[in-house]
Amino acid sequence: MIDLAAHGLIAPATAPRDIGGPGTVAALLDQAVLDSPDALALVGRGGRYSVAALDAEVDRAVGALAELGIGPGDRVAMSLPNDVDIVIGFLASMRMGAIWLGINRPLAPPEKAYMLRDAGVSVLVADSEVAAAQSDHGEVPELGAIVDVAEWRERVVGATPGERVDVDPLAPAAIAYTSGTTGFPKGAVHSQHNMLLPGRVSAVGGTHSEGAVIGVALPLTILNLIVLSPCVTYQCGLTLVCMDRVDGVGMAEWIQGEGITAFSAVPAMVHDLLTNPAVTDEMLASIQGIGVGGADMPDAFRRLYEERFGMRVGTGYGLTEAPTAVTVEDVSQPPVAGSCGKALPQCSVVVLADDGAECEPGDPGEVCVGPAAEGPFADVYRPMLGYWNRPDESAEALRGGLLHTGDIGSLDFDGNLRIHDRKNDLIIRGGANVYPAEVERVLHENPAVAACAVIGVPDDRLGERVVAFVELMEDSAVGEQDLVDLCGQHLARYKVPESVTFVDGFARTPMGKIRKTELR
């Protein structure tokens, strides 16, 4: 049993209201096993599973994790491509009351090691490349085993099915890392209840048609994609397809081969899908809709989407700490300029001034999220439990029983949310979050760097690109490639600045902070 306070976490003040459905992710497949055991549940390069076969495989994975010494409250990390293994491993972790952590494969080894160490991970299951790179894990004291995916599959096949435990739906169940202002990631902690709720809302609201086939092309190592994929799909009684290619032709082949009706992507992926001359209308015939998010959408992309699908693309607002979406735009209604939609049925959104008072419509303030006060999902939503081992930041983010996002926004008289500024100057490059402080921290490792600032610049395809401005020490001979190479050694490729501009100095605020608005 995890002691929440010992890990800087905060329990909900009250238990959420019961609205039916599975009470835990551990029980996610139970009803389907009774109702439709032969229905197709999971597809990937690694196999095809009916509901009953998936349920049995998850039980064996529970046994495999137990043989590796995992028990309730232990942390299990997975750094795997989109395939059946990561879904099975996640569901097994939930059944045994472990805490699951997805680690994105493109991250550099030092970035992965930081997360493993910070979370106190006991077992890492990874593809062969990641497993080899992380094999020297002396700097991660609690890491007892790194298991290559091939070995993991053998262990699961040969394992005795594990026994289920009683799972507290409000206990810590998963960690998703986001960045803090220091440039070091911090882990947002979610319960099984948190992860189930978006799927329950989708099931009750009939978001997906009967027989829909849901694809997942974005990495399942991102917790929000776990929430939006298996946790939604199986509550709606549908099939989940793990798509392991994100190029236009690769996605189209999955769509046509499996009859995928819906999937989520970032604008760059959809742009490639819709502009690649090798992708025909016939290949996309089954698609009923593509959820687009995770990055700014240039006007050129919006026009392209509307021409292809005959409907405009909607926007929304969400964050890792929520988890997933908080607002969504209704594309059947006329657009509201600058809006990212209204609160989802389970959420309420308020904008607060610095003194804690609620802002008047149109006035900017901090965007805060809480449970809906009325309707079928009143008093059901609960935000994250806090940041792992960061009590002060947990208390700050969850003060007053609300999730304080740090984002500045405003609400109009109809409840439409508009975001004015993004937390910590976040850059979203092709759907991937890049926090400038992380890149700036690496640049400062070169002693020739006197000061630096990293910003995002608009890009029609990716939404934004990463660029850096650097002030060097006097008489320094450091060049642009030296700093790009330094970042490449310590950061994922998508975080590396695409250009470095050298400046003689920076315009600064009275408090000495660099004025990034002038750089933009």
SS3 track for 214-264 = EEECCCCCCHHHHHHCHHHHCCCCCEEEECCCCCHHHHHHHHHHHCCCEEE
In a domain, 253, yes or no: no
Q: Taking 80 as the threshold, does the pLDDT of residue 298 lie above it? A: no
Q: How many Å apart are CA 90 and CA 187, to the nearest integer? A: 17
Specify whether the CB–CB gap between 118 and 187 falls below 8 A. yes
In a domain, 373, yes or no: yes
Which CATH number characterizes residue 354's domain? 2.30.38.10
Q: Taking 90 as the threshold, does the pLDDT of residue 134 lie above it? A: no
Token digits for 182?
């220091």
Taking residues 321-341, what's their average pLDDT? 90
Tell which of 244, 264, 288 closes a domain: 244
In a domain, 341, yes or no: yes
Amino acid at 375: G
Statement to judge: residues 199 and 329 lie in one domain: no
pLDDT tens per residue across span 478-508: 999 999 999 999 999 999 999 999 999 998 7
Q: Taking 70 as the threshold, does the pLDDT of residue 509 lie above it? A: no
- Nearest by Cα to 173 from 193, 156, 159: 193
Question: How confident is the model at residue 512, as a pLDDT?
Answer: 61
Question: How confident is the model at residue 137, as a pLDDT?
Answer: 55
Statement to judge: residues 452 and 508 lie in one domain: yes
pLDDT band at 161 (very low <50, low <70, confident <90, very high): very high
Question: How confident is the model at residue 206, as a pLDDT?
Answer: 86
Which CATH number characterizes residue 109's domain? 3.40.50.12780
- Nearest by Cα to 150 from 94, 80, 74, 75: 80
Torsion angle of C-alpha atoms 328, 333, 336, 338, degrees rounded to 10: 40
pLDDT tens per residue across span 396-424: 999 999 999 988 889 999 999 998 866 66
Amino acid at 477: A
Statement to judge: residues 30 and 138 lie in one domain: yes
Statement to judge: residues 364 and 460 lie in one domain: no
Q: What is the CA radius of gyration of the chain?
A: 23
pLDDT tens per residue across span 306-315: 888 888 888 8
pLDDT band at 100 (very low <50, low <70, confident <90, very high): very high
Statement to judge: residues 16 and 152 lie in one domain: yes
Q: Taking 60 as the threshold, does the pLDDT of residue 284 lie above it? A: yes
Taking residues 196-221, what's their average pLDDT? 94
Taking residues 231-253, what's their average pLDDT? 97
Taking residues 223-234, what's their average pLDDT? 96
Q: Which residues pair with 433 in a beta bridge?
A: 428
Which CATH number characterizes residue 459's domain? 3.30.300.30
Taking residues 186-208, what's their average pLDDT? 95
Statement to judge: residues 365 and 434 lie in one domain: no
Taking residues 62-85, what's their average pLDDT? 97
pTM value is 0.88
In a domain, 267, yes or no: no
Statement to judge: residues 33 and 166 lie in one domain: yes
In a domain, 301, yes or no: no
Q: How many Å apart are CA 262 and CA 172, to the nearest integer? A: 30
Angle at 8 between CA 427 and CA 106, to 5 degrees: 35
Statement to judge: residues 332 and 431 lie in one domain: no
3-state secondary structure string across 59-116: HHHHHHHHHCCCCCCCEEEEECCCCHHHHHHHHHHHHCCCEEEECCCCCCHHHHHHHH
pLDDT band at 237 (very low <50, low <70, confident <90, very high): very high
- Nearest by Cα to 427 from 494, 505, 327: 494
pLDDT band at 474 (very low <50, low <70, confident <90, very high): confident
pLDDT tens per residue across span 351-386: 999 899 999 999 988 999 999 999 999 999 999 999
Taking residues 47-68, what's their average pLDDT? 98
Statement to judge: residues 44 and 131 lie in one domain: yes
Specify whether the CB–CB gap between 323 and 100 falls below 8 A. no
Specify whether the CB–CB gap between 140 and 95 falls below 8 A. no
Torsion angle of C-alpha atoms 55, 59, 65, 66, degrees rounded to 10: 160
Statement to judge: residues 417 and 430 lie in one domain: no
Statement to judge: residues 358 and 408 lie in one domain: yes
Q: Total domain count for the chain? A: 3
pLDDT band at 295 (very low <50, low <70, confident <90, very high): low
Q: Taking 90 as the threshold, does the pLDDT of residue 305 lie above it? A: no
Tell which of 244, 273, 301 closes a domain: 244
Average pLDDT score over the chain: 92
In a domain, 232, yes or no: yes
Q: Taking 60 as the threshold, does the pLDDT of residue 181 lie above it? A: no
Q: How many Å apart are CA 164 and CA 134, to the nearest integer? A: 31
Residues whose CB is less than 8 angstroms from the CB of residue 338 and which lie 6 or more positions away in sequence, other chains included: 418
Specify whether the CB–CB gap between 501 and 468 falls below 8 A. yes
Q: Taking 60 as the threshold, does the pLDDT of residue 229 lie above it? A: yes
Residue 308 CA: distances (Å) to CA of 261, 332, 333: 15, 17, 19
Please, what sign has the CA dihedral across residues 300, 305, 310, 316? negative
Q: Say which residue, 133 or 79, is predicted with more confidence.
A: 79
Tell which of 421, 440, 472 closes a domain: 421
In a domain, 127, yes or no: yes
Statement to judge: residues 417 and 431 lie in one domain: no
| Residue 100 belongs to domain spanning | 5-244
